């Protein structure tokens, strides 16, 4: 019996985990799941909100979140028509800025939302950024000097969706992954030190979507998981071979923006249309899946979602944050709050709503209770960028503005 238990423990140690071996700061935290490993944060806020430490309004137009390292902050923005990456110190002072070609200005409806889309990925001494029209650049962290660049449209005949290229680049080992969405080069793996292709894959030749991917590590292989315009896909990260895909139900805008979450053998996703929310149980080698449940009534365009224990918390367009039972997919609770993006730290949920309300939410199992709220007044245009927490500071990007609030307990 003891031997059997030890065998189970050993197997569980080998079972798939999301792979982030390097020292890396990136989109929605170290595991891209919206969870920030912070402690001793405020459990309530005063009426006026937590103390603002500083604010700047010189980071260009855009919607991408900042990336915070031990000594710097990186964020993308649009100055005039140019894509720019800004490096700030931890007090908001500009250290350097580097151009990355032209930035997304849109056409038709999307012209209402010009500016940067993605969040920089920082690995050791290098910064990886992507403009809204698909120029990928590798920059030196200290100086901003460009080491290499690849244009997904020119080099891979990539085709971006209505609102441009949005994915925040994923780096694993010595590879950076990107999804040009072209008919011949649908997805590509690039050497992160040179930008040269390691492999390219046609896959189904599907259009690009807005998802920032993850890698799941299995004993046999690493599996890259992301959305294209019409599918969620899993492919061998080493070769680009398609392992599995699942079609998304009828939809119009390819609104698959939220990064999937992998936990305890299961892959969870929540989409703005198509299949809504679902749980896919992956085989032990990552080569296939079985759908455990689907709740097509749950919609979430780009607010991110969280898996906390056996619960999924997901904002919806109908001004609610809903809690789903992760075992069944059934909605079991909700709280009224404007359409928002959500993150999690120190047992609390943080919601940044499209009306500018920043809310602190206390969790008790599936129950949610507002523990503080304030209005983000600085900045301009839409409240879309996901907030970030680092070393007891809450960072909020609103258009050209970046704001820093102290949320650490005294």
pLDDT at 23: 75
Q: What are the boundaries of each domain within the chain?
A: 66-208
The residue-averaged pLDDT of 371-379 equals: 96
Span 136-158, average pLDDT: 98
pTM, entire model: 0.94
In this predicted structure, the answer to whether residue 214 has a pLDDT above a threshold of 90 is: yes
| Confidence band for 140, pLDDT divided at 50, 70 and 90 | very high
Q: CATH classification of 66-208, choosing from 3.40.228.10, 3.90.1150.10, 2.40.128.630, 3.60.60.10?
A: 2.40.128.630
- pLDDT tens-place string over residues 118-131: 999 999 999 999 99
> Does the structure show a pLDDT above 70 at 278?
yes
Contact assessment for residue 219 and residue 14, using Cβ atoms and an 8 Å cutoff? yes
| pLDDT category of residue 1 using cuts at 50, 70 and 90 | very low
Mean pLDDT throughout 300-306?
Answer: 96
Alpha-carbon distance of 161 to 82, in angstroms, equals 20
* Local confidence band at 253 (pLDDT 50, 70, 90 cut-offs): confident
Token pair for residue 293? 């449940």
pLDDT band at 18 (very low <50, low <70, confident <90, very high): low
Cα dihedral 249, 253, 254, 259, rounded to 10, equals: -110
Percentage of the chain with pLDDT > 90?
Answer: 90
Task: Give phi and psi for 59, each to the nearest 5.
Answer: -105, 15
- In the block, residue with structure tokens 């080698």: 285
pLDDT for 73-103, tens place per residue?
999 999 999 999 999 999 999 999 999 999 9
Q: How many CB atoms lie within 10 A of CB 27?
A: 24
- Answer with the residue of higher pLDDT: 274 or 187: 187
Count of positions (residues) in the chain: 410
Residue with tokens 């005039």: 80
Query: Other C-beta atoms within 10 Å of 125: how many?
Result: 11
What is the average pLDDT value for the chain, to the nearest integer?
A: 93
């Amino acid at each position: 019996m003891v031997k059997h238990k030890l065998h189970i423990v050993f197997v569980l140690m080998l079972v798939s985990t999301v792979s982030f071996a390097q020292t890396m700061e990136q989109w929605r935290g170290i595991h891209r799941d919206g969870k920030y490993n912070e402690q001793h944060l405020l459990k309530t806020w005063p009426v006026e909100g937590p103390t603002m430490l500083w604010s700047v309004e010189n980071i260009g137009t855009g919607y991408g979140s900042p990336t915070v390292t031990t000594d710097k902050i990186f964020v993308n923005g649009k100055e005039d028509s140019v894509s720019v990456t800004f490096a700030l110190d931890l007090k908001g002072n500009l250290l350097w800025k580097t151009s990355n070609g032209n930035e997304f200005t849109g056409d038709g409806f999307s012209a209402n939302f010009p500016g940067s889309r993605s969040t920089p990925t920082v690995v050791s001494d290098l910064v990886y950024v992507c403009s809204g029209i698909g120029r990928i650049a590798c920059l030196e962290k200290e100086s901003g000097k460009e080491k290499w660049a690849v244009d997904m449209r020119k080099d891979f005949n990539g085709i971006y969706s209505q609102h441009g290229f949005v994915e925040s680049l994923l780096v694993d080992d010595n590879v950076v992954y990107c999804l040009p969405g072209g008919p011949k080069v649908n997805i590509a793996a690039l050497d992160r030190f040179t930008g040269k292709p390691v492999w390219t894959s046609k896959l189904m030749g599907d259009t690009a979507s807005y998802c920032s991917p993850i890698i799941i590590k299995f004993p046999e292989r690493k599996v890259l998981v992301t959305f294209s315009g019409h599918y969620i896909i899993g492919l061998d990260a080493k070769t680009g071979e398609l392992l599995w895909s699942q079609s998304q139900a009828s939809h119009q805008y390819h609104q698959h923006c939220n990064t999937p979450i992998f936990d305890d053998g299961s892959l969870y996703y929540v989409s703005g249309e198509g299949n809504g929310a679902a749980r896919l149980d992956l085989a032990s080698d990552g080569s296939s899946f079985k759908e455990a449940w689907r709740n097509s009534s749950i919609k979430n365009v780009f607010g991110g979602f969280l898996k906390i224990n056996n619960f999924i918390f997901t904002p919806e367009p109908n001004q609610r944050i809903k809690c789903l039972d992760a075992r069944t997919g059934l909605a079991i609770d909700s709280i009224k709050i404007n359409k928002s993006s959500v993150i999690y730290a120190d047992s609390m949920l943080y919601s940044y709503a499209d009306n500018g309300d920043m809310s602190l939410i206390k969790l008790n199992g599936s129950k949610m209770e507002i523990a503080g709220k304030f209005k983000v007044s600085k900045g301009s245009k839409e409240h879309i960028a996901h907030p970030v927490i680092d070393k007891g500071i809450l960072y909020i990007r609103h258009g050209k503005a970046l704001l820093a609030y102290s949320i650490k307990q005294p």
